[in-house]
Structure 1
Amino acid sequence: MELFGYSLENIYLVLLLLSGAIMLLYLLFGDAIEGVWGAFGLFNPTTILAFITIFSGSGYLFESISSISSFIALLISIVISLIASFLLHFFILVPLKSAEESLAYTENSLEGRVGKVIIPIPADGYGEVVIESYSGMISKPASSYNNSPIEEGERVLIIDVVSGVLQVTDYEQAIDFYKE
Structure 2
Amino acid sequence: MESWYWGLFIAGILFALATLIFGEVLGHLSGMLDSASGHHLPFLQPAVLVGGITTFGGAGILLSRYTELTSWQSGGLSLLIAAVLSVLVYLVYVKPMENSENSVAFSLQELVGKIGEVTVPVPASGYGEVMVRTGVGVTNQIAESLDGRSIPSHLRVVVVEVKNSVLLVSPLDSDPLN
Same fold (TM > 0.5): yes
Contact 2:5 2:61 survives alignment (8 Å): no
Contact 1:8 1:63 survives alignment (8 Å): yes
Contact 2:57 2:78 survives alignment (8 Å): no
Task: Determine whether 1:40 maps to 2:38.
Answer: yes
CA-based RMSD: 3.4
Consecutive unaligned residues in structure 2, runs of 5 or more: none
Task: Determine whether 1:50 maps to 2:47.
Answer: yes
Consecutive unaligned residues in structure 1, runs of 5 or more: 174-180
CA distance in 1, matches of 2:23, 2:165: 35
Query: Residues 29-88 of structure 1: CA distance to partner in whole angstroms, max 9, x if unpaired?
Result: 63574355145323137x532222112322343355551455445444433443343334
Q: CA deviation at 1:169?
A: 1.4
The correspondence for 2:6, drawn from 5, 9, 16, is 9
Query: Residues 81-133 of structure 1: CA distance to partner in whole angstroms, max 9, x if unpaired?
Result: 43343334334444444443585533222112211112222233333222234
Where does residue 120 of structure 2 map in the other structure?
A: 119
Where does residue 148 of structure 1 map in the other structure?
A: 149
CA distance in 1, matches of 2:26, 2:120: 41
Aligned pairs (5 A) from 1:15-30: 15-18=12-15, 20-22=17-19, 24-28=21-25, 30=27
Aligned pair count? 169
Letter in 2 for 1:40: G
TM-score of the pair, normalised by structure 2:
0.69
Letter in 2 for 1:141: I
Letter in 1 for 2:112: E
